[in-house]
Copies of this chain bind each other. A is one copy, B any other.
Amino acid sequence: MSIKLVVFGLIGYDSIETPMGKRDRVLGGAASYFSTVASYFTKVGLVSVVGKDFEEKYVDFLKNHDVDLTGFERSSEGYTFSWVGTYGEDFGDATTHKNALNVFEHFNPVLPEKYKNAELLFIANIHPALQIQIINQAKNPKIIALDTMNLWINTTRDELLKAIKKVDILFVNESEAKLLAQEKKFAHAVSRLLELGPKRIVVKLGELGAMMGTKETRFFVPAFPSLDVTDPTGAGDSFAGGFMGSLAKFGDYSEKGFRKSMLYGSAMGSLTVENFSVETYEKLDPKRIEERYQALKNMVTI
């Protein structure tokens, strides 16, 4: 099966505490969530690196999800990326206690030959120089999507703007949208971001859902109103995984197709946060994806 969707991003260990419990050194990183989630829709190729301390069981987890690991490096030197964070009672932004890039600090990402013709590329949140490096290796992808965060907006703005200019879709959250656009009003921020290059901006709105904007239109998808949030980590990357995965699966790049993908994104984000790490996907009945998609669709239909 050829690789239709490729993700480049962090794979590593998360140690997480939320009001619902805690986990120590479980599978984390944007690319873990993205590839796991997208695997329910399409064949995903993964470009990432881990260190000598990375446990085999997590490699098996990805293999069991039929994630293609040609681009997945296991360094015999150095340690795996590791994040330690705590969420407060409102499950808002996490407090980060540790964020060690480790083997990712000197990573020279290479897009394997079999990934170069992938139709869709998701460049997860990482230093924009690395993002550009991967984008430049791709041959005529139809859709490149990129995620970023406040850190890069603040510290590597010029490089980030170069990366953004190369992509079709930009994923940000509300505060990042305003910070990057240097606009205090939401509508102005979205308009400004659309002048930076991408044809679409997807703004993640946390517990409210997400918005997709183009020059001509806006589309809102609600967050599924689940009362069973256990761990918000990975919600945004799972959203992206459902969004890009369903685009790859259905191949409909019309406005309607993108709107369907917004619903799949929201569906997957809500499934992820029901459990810690990627535990939801240890045994997920795929029927639940369609059920949640339909429930969300009913929430936007007039």
Contact = CB atoms under 8 A, between A and B. Distances in A.
Contacts of A259: 302
A142 interface: no
A91 B220 contact: no
A263 B302 contact: yes
A162 interface: no
Interface stretch (A62-70, A111-119, A221-229): A221-229
A18 to B, nearest CB: 12
Given A191-B227, A227-B187, A227-B188, A300 B302 contact: yes
A208 to B, nearest CB: 6
Interface residues of A, number: 37
A207 interface: yes
B213 A225 contact: yes
Identify whether the interface residues of A are mostly helix, strand, loop, or mixed. mixed
Contact of A186 (B208, B220, B302): B208
Interface string A272-302: 0000000000000000000000000111111
Protomer copies: 2
B187 A226 contact: yes
A25 interface: no
Contacts of A300: 219-220, 300, 302
A302 B222 contact: no
A256 to B, nearest CB: 6
Interface string A220-261: 111101110100000000000000000000000000100110
A56 interface: no
A285 B153 CA distance: 43
A217 interface: yes
A207 B185 contact: yes
A192 to B, nearest CB: 10
Given A217-B299, A220-B300, A301-B302, 8 more contacts: A91-B184, A187-B223, A187-B226, A190-B225, A191-B227, A205-B208, A220-B222, A300-B302
Interface of A: 89-91, 184-188, 190-191, 205, 207-209, 211, 213, 217-223, 225-227, 229, 256, 259-260, 263, 297-302
